[in-house]
Structure formats: C-alpha cells, structure tokens
C-alpha cells in the first residue's frame, strides 16, 4: 500500500486573540490549535511524523491533505432529532438508559419500561441532550438477544420519552429494532457494529434519513476482549472508520448524517484505549462529529486499584474532559448531572478565555 499522510491537530491554545493566522478553529467548536502533526502512514502503521505550525501549513498540502484540512476545520452541522436541534459547536451529553438485565454497569436497574422512561426524562431535565436507549448488552462476553425481545424492551421507553419531547437514540445492531424504534420516535441510531451486523441495517438508515453513529469494534461482544491485537491502533481504527464512512455514503447515507465513535473498550486493551484517547484529534479529519463513550469502563478500574463499576465516576469525568478538550462533540455517559456540571465548568473556562480583554 502506498504511503499517505494524515493530519492530527495539536498545540491547543485558550483563544485565538492575538494569534491571527497562527491558529485554527477545530471543527467549528470551542477548541483552537496552533500546530498539526503530519503522520506518514504505510501499511496501517505510522512510519514518520513531522510537527508543523498552523501558520503557512497549507502551502505544504497536496489535494488529499487539503481535503483533510477542510474536513477537520469545517463546522459540524447540528443534529435535527425530531423537533429537537442538538448543536455540535459545543460538547453535548448523551445519557445511557439500558433496558437490559445484564449491562456491565446498570443492568437490571429499572424494574419496568415506565421506570426506565422516567429515569430518561430525569436525565434530560438534568441536561442530557440525547437519551440513548438500549435493549441488548454489548459488554464483553454478552450474548445476542432475539430482536423481538429487544423491541419489547425498548419500544415503550422510546415512545414515552419521545412523546415527552426528549431527543432519543436507539442503541442497537439490528434492522428490525431500528425500524421499531424509529416508528416509536427515536431519531438517531447508535450501532456498535457500524452497520455491519445486520445486512439490512444500512438500507434502513439510508431510507429513514436519520443520523447514525458508526462505532469501531474488533470481534463480537462474546470474544472481543479475549486478546485484542493491533499493529497501530490509532491508524487502524482511523482507516477502518474511513472505510465504513465510504460504505455508508455508497449506500446513500449523507456524510453529514454520520457520526463516528472509536469504540473505547470494544476489542481494545487498556493501552489501546489510552492511545486512542491521546490521539483522538486525528478523527476530526474524517469530517464527522466524534462520539466518545468511556463512562465507567474497565480501563478506569484498571488504572485505579480495580475500582468497582459504581466507583468510577472520577475516571469517567476525567475521560469526558479529555475528550472535549480534543474537540469531541458528544460524550456518552451514565452519570449525567456530574458530567453536565463538569462540562459547564469547562465551558465557563472557555467562555472566559474567549472574552476579549481589550
């Protein structure tokens, strides 16, 4: 495979004031960067790197790099989820509602659909922009759920939440569940298989016109954590998502309707997850909003004396802040009020930095 060059923004500054021509805005959001790392890639691995200042960098671009630059600096279109508009020029919280008995963190938390819907409505009131409803656990080792059971779990929750005005997404790999959820009022599909599990799924998304989150994974939930291997995890995940975006576009899904998720914890070791977090800005050159879901995951426990799932709030917020500091548009979380508060402080700091001093 021929060598190529990828762009990763870095050298972040608090504000653009006094730096005309020396900084660039990342994806139309609240982050500004002063440098970019040019990564030489061959056969799915980094073979070289060069750090360049933003000032004058475009003179070095060929057609491919110019397209990447345009993609990573262009504003992300807001999500129109029914009557709700979710702006992506600032980070947003996606709340998790698992209507499952076996999810790794909150399985069996809700006694029935009414209780789950009430919890989702409460999360919306606490500041979550999107409520993500799932009826099948995709934790490591989880077994697949029959689509009929999955629909029975999620449909009444979605119907009640959407009827109350919440922006709802459906977390599923199955086309039939997507169809039932969309009929019930969901307006976003979150597919951890990136539309590869069910051959009908990509057609359902294309026909419906709703946005879709495509997530990287290695293997299936039953085996994905047995022994995940990569030559260069950052580059392999990037190129895999690049291929999935192309496949979605070929099927009739507009790129502006595609969001990407690097799949934290889905076929990755602790080291893989940390490398993806550190290199997260690379994914902006795909031209799609970034979704990051690290809430309460195993990596946090591994880095904090094996803290159990219910004691991983601090680590979850640390990852959320790391993500939004790199321009991620959506963080998917269990702990809504705490994450919303953390992002409000982050936003206050940004707003102050962007207040002219003269």
Residues taking part in catalysis: 297, 332
Instruction: Name every residue whose Cβ is closer than 8 Å to that of residue 183 and which is 6 or more positions away in sequence.
Output: none
> Residues 131, 293, 349, CA angle at the centre, nearest 5°?
90
d(CA 294, CA 279): 15
CB atoms within 10 A of CB 84: 17
Spatial distance between the Cα atoms of 227 and 233, rounded to a whole number of angstroms: 14
For residue 232, CA distances in Å to 189, 194, 274, 282 come to: 29, 20, 13, 13
Cα–Cα distance between 204 and 175 in angstroms, integer? Answer: 7
Helix boundaries (H) for the chain: 63-73, 113-125, 147-163, 175-184, 201-208, 233-250, 270-278, 298-302, 313-325, 336-353
Buried b (16+ CB within 10 A) or exposed e, 257-286: bbbbbbbbbbbbbeebbbbbbebbbbbbbb
Diameter over CA atoms, the chain: 62
């Amino acid at each position: 495979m021929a060598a190529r060059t990828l762009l990763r923004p870095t050298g972040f500054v608090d504000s653009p004031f006094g730096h005309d021509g020396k900084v660039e805005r990342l994806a139309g959001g609240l982050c500004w960067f002063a440098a970019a790392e040019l990564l030489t890639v061959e056969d799915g691995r980094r073979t070289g790197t060069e750090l360049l200042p933003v000032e004058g960098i475009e003179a070095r671009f060929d057609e491919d790099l110019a397209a990447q630059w345009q993609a990573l600096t262009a504003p992300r279109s807001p999500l129109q989820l029914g009557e709700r508009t979710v702006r992506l020029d600032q980070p947003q919280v996606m709340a998790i509602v698992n209507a499952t008995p076996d999810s790794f963190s909150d399985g069996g938390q809700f006694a029935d659909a009414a209780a789950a819907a009430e919890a989702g409505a409460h999360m919306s009131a606490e500041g979550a922009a999107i409520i993500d409803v799932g009826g099948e656990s995709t934790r490591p080792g989880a077994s697949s759920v029959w689509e009929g059971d999955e629909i029975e779990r999620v449909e009444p929750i979605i119907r009640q939440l959407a009827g109350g005005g919440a922006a709802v997404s459906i977390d599923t790999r199955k086309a039939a569940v997507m169809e039932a959820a969309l009929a019930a009022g969901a307006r976003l599909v979150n597919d951890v298989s990136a539309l590869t599990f069910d051959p009908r799924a990509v057609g359902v998304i294309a026909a419906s016109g709703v946005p879709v989150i495509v997530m990287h994974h290695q293997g299936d939930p039953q085996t994905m954590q047995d022994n995940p291997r990569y030559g260069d995890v950052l580059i392999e995940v990037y190129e895999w998502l690049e291929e999935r975006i192309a496949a979605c576009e070929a099927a009739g899904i507009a790129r502006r309707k595609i969001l990407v998720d690097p799949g934290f914890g889905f076929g990755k070791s602790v080291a893989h997850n940390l490398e993806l977090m550190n290199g997260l800005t690379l994914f902006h050159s795909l031209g799609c909003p970034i979704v990051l879901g690290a809430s309460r995951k195993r990596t946090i426990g591994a880095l904090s004396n094996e803290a159990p799932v219910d004691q991983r709030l601090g680590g979850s917020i640390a990852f959320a802040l790391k993500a939004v500091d790199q321009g991620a548009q959506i963080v998917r979380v269990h702990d809504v009020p705490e994450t919303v508060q953390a992002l409000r402080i982050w936003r206050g700091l940004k707003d102050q930095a962007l207040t002219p001093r003269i």
